[in-house]
C-alpha cells in the first residue's frame, strides 16, 4: 500500500485523539438521553456528562463553567460574539474594532454588521502579522462596544499581545473578544490575566471532534443577544439540543491538552525549519520571529510557482493560506495584509505540526519539500537568472 502523506495541516484540523473517540462512544449508543430531560436517568446522565465537559472547557481558559456556551464550532462562536454583543448594546454604541488578518468568520460577520449600520474599524498588522496595542487604544471612541482580535493567527502563528490589549480595553470600558482557536490548548490562555470578556474555541483544532465549539462570555457583565432561539438551551444563549457526544469529546480533548509540551512541539518545528532552510536559498519565514505558536511554520519560497508547489508536494499534507478560504484562489489575505508581495505569498506553505507528528516524520517532510522546490526551480527561468546573476558576483 502506498504510504499516506505526512499530515502537517493541523491548523486546518486535527486528528481526533483515540481517547476522545473512546469517551464519546457510549453517548451515541447507551447514554443517548437529551441533556435537557432531567426527569429520567438517560437525561440526567447526559446532563451530568455535559456539566463535566463544561467544567473542563472552562478550566482550559481559567473561566467558570457557567460562563461557557456550547456551539457548533468557532465560526458560530465568532458570529454569536460579534452579532450578539453589537446588537444587544445598540443603545450604548455602534462601533466594532477588529483586524485585517482575522479568520473569515470574523471578517464576514464584521461586514454583515457594517451593512446593518454598525461602524467597523479594521486595524492593520505589521510585517509580522502583529497588531500594535497602541493602535487599539487610538481606535477606541466613546461609541466603541467591542474589540475582537485573534489570540494567535491561523496562517502565520503570530501571537498578539493579549494582556496589553486586554488591559487597554478594560480601562476604556469596552469588551474584548478573542478568537483563541489556535492558541487554546497549545499555550496557556487565561481570561483573567488577559482580561478577556468573550473567547471563541473549537474542538477539532485540539484533537476533539468536528462540529462543536464554545463561546466564553464573562458573566454577568456582558450583554448578549442570542442568534439561535427556540428551546432555550445554554441559558437561552444557544437554543438547540446539545450535541452531547461531541461536547463530551470536547471536554476530554481539553483535559488531554494539559499533557502536551509546547517546548517539545517548538523543538520539532524548529528542526523542520532548519532542515529546509539549510538546504535551500530564497526561503522567507512569515510570522513573528519569537512571539508565535509552537506548532506553526509558514515559509515563502522564491522562484517557484505556488500552485505548482502545492500540487507537486505529494508526500506532505500542508496548505497555502488557510483551509477555510481554500475555495478562494489567489494569495492569502493574511500574507497580503502583512505586506508580502502576491507572487511570494502564492508560493508560501503553512506547516502545522500536531500531537501526532513524530520525530521520524520531520526529516522526511523536510526532504520532500527540499526536493520538490529544487525540482520546480530547475524548470524556472527566474531561478536560472538568479543563479546566473549570483555566479557573476
Question: Which residues belong to the active site?
Answer: 324
Three cell numbers, residue 292: 508565535
Q: Which residues contact 49 (CB under 8 A, 6 or more apart)?
A: 27, 31, 35, 244, 247, 248, 251
Three cell numbers, residue 140: 477606541
Nearest-approach distance from CB 298 to ligand PLP, in angstroms: 14
Nearest-approach distance from CB 238 to ligand PLP, in angstroms: 14
Between 72 and 284, whose beta carbon lies closer to ligand PLP? 72
The Cα–Cα gap between 64 and 334 comes to 33
Q: Which H helix or E strand runs over 306? A: helix 306-312
Nearest to 194 by CA among 258, 259, 130, 149: 149
Q: Is 68 exposed, middle or buried (0-12, 13-18, 19+ CB in 10 A)?
A: buried
Between 319 and 372, whose beta carbon lies closer to ligand PLP? 319
Between 150 and 280, whose beta carbon lies closer to ligand PLP? 150
Between 227 and 324, whose beta carbon lies closer to ligand PLP? 324
Nearest-approach distance from CB 9 to ligand PLP, in angstroms: 11
The Cα–Cα gap between 53 and 76 comes to 19
Between 32 and 356, whose beta carbon lies closer to ligand PLP? 356
Binding site for ligand PLP (CB under 6 A): 73-75, 103, 105, 150, 154, 179, 181-182, 202, 204-205, 213, 324
For residue 304, give the DSSP letter: S
Q: Which H helix or E strand runs over 60? A: helix 41-60
The Cα–Cα gap between 157 and 129 comes to 9
> What backbone phi and psi angles, to 5 degrees, belong to 370?
-60, -45
Nearest-approach distance from CB 259 to ligand PLP, in angstroms: 22
Between 202 and 332, whose beta carbon lies closer to ligand PLP? 202
Nearest-approach distance from CB 73 to ligand PLP, in angstroms: 3
Nearest-approach distance from CB 211 to ligand PLP, in angstroms: 8
Contact indicator for 323, 294 with CB cutoff of 8 Å: no
Nearest-approach distance from CB 179 to ligand PLP, in angstroms: 5
Is the dihedral angle over the CA atoms 93, 98, 103, 108 positive or is it negative?
positive
The Cα–Cα gap between 248 and 49 comes to 6
Residue nearest to ligand PLP according to CB distances in the complex: 73
| Buried/exposed code over 135-146 (b: 16+ C-beta within 10 A; e: otherwise) | bbbeebeeebbb
Amino acid at each position: 500500500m502506498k504510504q499516506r502523506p505526512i499530515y502537517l495541516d493541523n491548523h486546518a484540523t486535527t486528528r481526533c485523539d483515540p481517547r476522545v473517540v473512546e469517551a464519546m462512544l457510549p453517548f451515541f449508543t447507551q447514554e443517548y438521553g437529551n441533556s435537557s430531560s432531567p426527569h429520567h436517568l438517560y437525561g440526567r446522565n447526559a446532563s451530568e456528562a455535559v456539566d463535566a465537559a463544561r467544567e473542563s472547557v472552562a478550566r482550559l481558559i481559567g473561566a467558570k463553567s457557567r460562563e461557557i456556551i456550547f456551539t457548533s464550532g468557532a465560526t458560530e462562536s465568532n458570529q454569536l460574539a460579534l452579532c450578539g454583543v453589537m446588537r444587544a448594546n445598540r443603545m450604548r454604541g455602534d462601533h466594532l474594532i477588529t483586524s485585517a488578518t482575522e479568520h473569515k468568520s470574523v471578517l464576514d460577520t464584521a461586514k454583515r454588521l457594517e451593512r446593518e449600520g454598525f461602524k467597523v474599524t479594521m486595524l492593520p498588522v505589521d510585517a509580522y502579522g502583529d497588531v500594535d496595542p497602541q493602535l487599539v487604544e487610538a481606535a477606541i471612541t466613546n461609541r466603541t462596544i467591542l474589540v475582537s482580535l485573534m489570540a494567535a493567527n491561523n496562517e502565520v502563528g503570530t501571537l498578539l499581545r493579549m494582556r496589553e490589549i486586554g488591559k487597554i480595553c478594560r480601562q476604556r470600558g469596552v469588551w474584548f473578544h478573542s478568537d483563541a482557536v489556535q492558541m487554546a490548548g497549545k499555550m496557556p490562555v487565561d481570561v483573567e490575566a488577559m482580561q478577556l470578556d468573550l473567547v471563541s474555541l473549537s474542538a477539532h483544532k485540539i484533537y476533539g471532534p468536528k462540529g462543536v465549539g464554545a463561546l466564553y462570555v464573562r458573566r454577568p457583565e456582558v450583554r448578549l443577544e442570542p442568534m439561535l432561539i427556540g428551546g432555550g438551551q445554554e441559558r437561552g444563549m444557544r437554543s438547540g439540543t446539545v450535541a452531547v457526544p461531541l461536547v463530551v469529546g470536547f471536554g476530554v480533548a481539553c483535559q488531554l491538552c494539559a499533557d502536551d509540551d509546547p517546548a517539545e512541539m517548538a523543538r520539532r518545528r524548529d528542526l523542520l525549519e532548519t532542515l529546509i532552510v539549510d538546504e535551500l536559498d530564497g526561503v522567507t519565514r512569515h510570522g513573528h520571529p519569537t512571539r508565535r505558536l509552537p506548532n506553526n511554520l509558514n515559509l515563502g519560497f522564491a522562484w517557484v510557482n505556488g500552485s505548482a508547489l502545492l500540487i507537486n508536494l505529494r508526500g506532505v499534507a500542508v496548505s497555502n493560506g488557510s483551509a477555510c478560504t481554500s475555495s478562494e484562489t489567489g494569495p492569502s489575505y493574511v500574507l497580503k495584509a502583512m505586506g508580502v508581495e502576491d507572487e511570494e505569498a502564492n508560493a508560501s506553505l503553512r506547516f502545522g505540526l500536531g500531537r501526532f507528528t513524530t520525530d521520524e516524520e520531520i526529516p522526511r517532510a523536510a526532504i520532500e519539500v527540499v526536493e520538490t522546490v529544487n525540482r520546480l526551480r530547475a524548470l524556472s527561468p527566474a531561478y536560472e537568472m538568479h543563479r546566473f546573476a549570483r555566479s557573476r558576483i
